[in-house]
Amino acid sequence: MGALISLVAVVGLGLLAAVGATAGDSLRFVLGVIVPGVAFAVFLGGIIFRVVHWAKSPVPFRIPTTTGQAKSLP
């Protein structure tokens, strides 16, 4: 399902770019400045969301440490 949504988004952006190539300056500004800015913001937000989600997930196993196994200094 995710691949289908991505394909539709790419086709939609391609059609929008084709229409924008023949449009006036206002649509060129939107396609040249606004759309890439929003795309970068969504990309950055997705990365931050995934890192936070990964950081909150519990560790499914114990990680042994080596502290307390050697003689301590006087």
What pLDDT is stored for residue 53 in this prediction?
Answer: 92
How many domains is the chain partitioned into structurally? 1
Residue 64 lies in a domain: no
C-alpha 11/C-alpha 74 separation (Å) is 71
Nearest Cα to Cα of residue 27 among 19, 36, 38: 19
Residue 66 lies in a domain: no
Q: pLDDT in tens for each of the 74 residues of the chain?
A: 778 988 998 898 888 777 877 777 777 788 778 888 898 999 999 999 999 998 888 877 777 776 666 666 66
What pLDDT is stored for residue 31 in this prediction?
Answer: 77
Residue 68 lies in a domain: no
Q: Residue 31 class from Cβ within 10 Å (0-12 exposed, 13-18 middle, 19+ buried)?
A: middle
What pLDDT is stored for residue 55 in this prediction?
Answer: 87
- Residue 50: what are its φ and ψ, rounded to 5°? -65, -40
What pLDDT is stored for residue 45 in this prediction?
Answer: 95
